[in-house]
Structure 1
């Protein structure tokens, strides 16, 4: 019996998980990626300042999924990391984000001695909207118009190119609202960790298997899959079908790095600062505040600022699927998925293949389940 073979398009998390799972089951796997590196959007590297930088923005591993953590920790050492964010107000003050009691005290200029006072303050400003239909209505029903317009309206317009009224509420529901003074971004997740030597090293370890061959700088071309038992494709599904049913839009990010001399203030314990103004930039990241990211002592630090844009204005670099309140693009995706179901030897995987916003733990879990289900259905 001939060996089972797989072509995997994309060397990010989805492709890596499928590749490793199939290889361990005895399949011969070829992984291709049109970029010149592995690790997808999680790719990191040490720059000229001796600082490890995530080329495509900060990737923060957090989850309650024990099985995902057990799987990923096979491939390298992870260290604890508690993420914190501050929002820069128009008057220059920095306040915690997501919104907590300290944030509301600063904006509403009123003392909130306990959670009951915080809850009462929010109840006063919240608008009576029983069944929110979009992101604006959801936020207004929770924190009122002033806080919504300050922390979410300009940021959403910059980030998504949409007004809050046009955006699906599920996008902002991802952001927690707190009535205490907890300032960690993910306090509800049991596992908050970072790879000690970076994500790229983790991917090298995942791909380090005799049944896996990885080729970067290689683009997928239709017909490649004909030489393989099956193809797992993480390219944009609408691109595969030549946008025959219309476009599935994405937001992208332009990254602007700058060098800063000297040390950080001793009391700075947050990594990311969000901008609440109406300018084009959304946030900045101080990489050396992430554990083991200052690799060499050069006396210089790296700060990256993000400028969102349409993916077509950034070499078609797709980062975030667009989710509107009317669900039109998700409905369009379903039409493409129906076309894909007719492809006998092709499965679409990952964020672009399934047109979903997925955190790292989610894409690992989805890919593990998908690969194992595929093998089980084939009796392997």
Structure 2
């Protein structure tokens, strides 16, 4: 039997489904939601604006084969992402921290990379071996910038203090000594699908060997009707949480329509206050997202919460400094490895915080290994 079940119609499931279908397998894809695309799903709203239902999804990568694979399924528009943080006094400053951010926050007039680097060295807290996210930031940028940009955001985003978080959560955020304000300046390939992510997924799933069934929840035992199952559901949920819960953070989205707005081209603004919201997205600032001019614009504000407070919508695995949840995941992984015909995939299946390109790269490699093992 060469029929395979794929649970989840997001990027992980789509990559596995398409790769296996092109290799001659019959693939049945199910998803509990009423749409394809996973968290990358987008749609055109009543204001004529393309909106990402689950928050901004901004593709960037240095892995050429990943971008080449995506280009098979649609056109892409170059886009270099920039972010501004809203200070308590209403001023907008670049984020991640750069030379201009330092000047605006501290009232300095630094002019060169060397001056900015020397300034940060002066205000940095001497911590030889940072043990957590808080110590890592304080050792790099000092207390003022840490407390302004990262401490309130972390409390809202993760429900934890910086000192409880693993340093890897903030280590991926660059600190710049020049005025570069691109969010991903080192990534060679940065673009958005010209016709949207949903259209991209429609093309990926458009293969005669792929059948798609939405609003269908995986039930243990379904896999017995297939030669193999690639499962992107939460791994602890599959095992009925028998070893304990793997925690996730989730997001509630609050949308509003505006008929007047300040003219700007910044799609994302982060909040630095202590309120419940972390950032706002101005969708029309993204290329190809103003689909029809109506004189109105759409704005989405994000409010983090525990996934259990949001209909079990799991977005971000929680990674603490003591590693307790990674240890718990490894115990679940041992249980999963004993399953003869199932592999867990994607962010929830592997309990990892993964960008889109990482999910695609991981899934392409996993699908090819699986095929190679079967000749």
TM normalised by structure 1 equals 0.98
Indicate whether 1:234 and 2:240 are aligned.
no
Q: Using the alignment, how far apart are the partners of 2:190 and 2:225 within structure 1?
A: 41
For 2:229 and 2:279, locate their aligned partners in 1 and report how far apart those are by CA, in whole Å: 37
Is the CA contact 1:263–1:299 (under 8 Å) kept in the aligned structure 2? no
Aligned with residue 371 of structure 1, among 338, 357, 367 = 367
2: distance between equivalents of 1:269 and 1:195? Answer: 18
1:158 matched residue in structure 2: 156
* TM-superposition CA deviations, 1:15-65 (whole Å, max 9, x none): 000000000000000000000000000000000001000000000000000
Structure 2: gaps of 5 or more residues: none
Match in the other structure for 1:274: 270
- Hey, what's the Cα distance between the residues in 1 that align with 2:4 and 2:79? 36
Equivalenced residues, count: 375
Alpha-carbon offset, residue 262 of structure 1: 3.5
For 2:172 and 2:114, the matched residues in 1 are separated by 24
Distance in 2, matches of 1:353 and 1:113, equals 47
Task: Name the residue aligned to 1:53.
Answer: 51
Q: Secondary structure at the match of 2:72?
A: helix
Partner of 1:107: 105
The answer for unaligned runs of 5 or more in structure 1 is none
Q: Alpha-carbon deviation of 1:227?
A: 0.5
CA deviations 1:250-273 (Å, max 9, x no partner) are 0000000000114541xx221100
Contact 1:229 1:345 in 2 (8 A): yes
In structure 2, the residue matched to 1:331 is 327
Q: 5 Å matches for 1:201-240?
A: 201-240=199-238
**Aligned partners of 1:264, 1:123: CA distance in 2, in Å?**
37
Pairwise CA RMSD: 0.6
1:294 equivalent in alignment to 2:290: yes
Aligned to 1:68: 66
Show the counterpart of 1:317.
313
* Distance in 2 separating the partners of 1:130 and 1:182: 28
- Which residue number corresponds to residue 346 of structure 2? 350
Match for residue 85 of structure 2? 87
- Superposition deviation, residue 116 in structure 1: 1.0
Cα separation, 2, equivalents of 1:328 and 1:138: 19
Residue of structure 1 equivalent to 2:251: 253
Matched, 1:179 2:177: yes
How far 1:128 sits from its partner (Å)? 1.0
Give the CA deviation at 1:322. Answer: 0.2
Shift of 1:157: 0.3
Matched, 1:117 2:100: no
Q: Which SS does the other structure have where 2:14 is aligned?
A: helix
SS in 2 for 1:75: coil
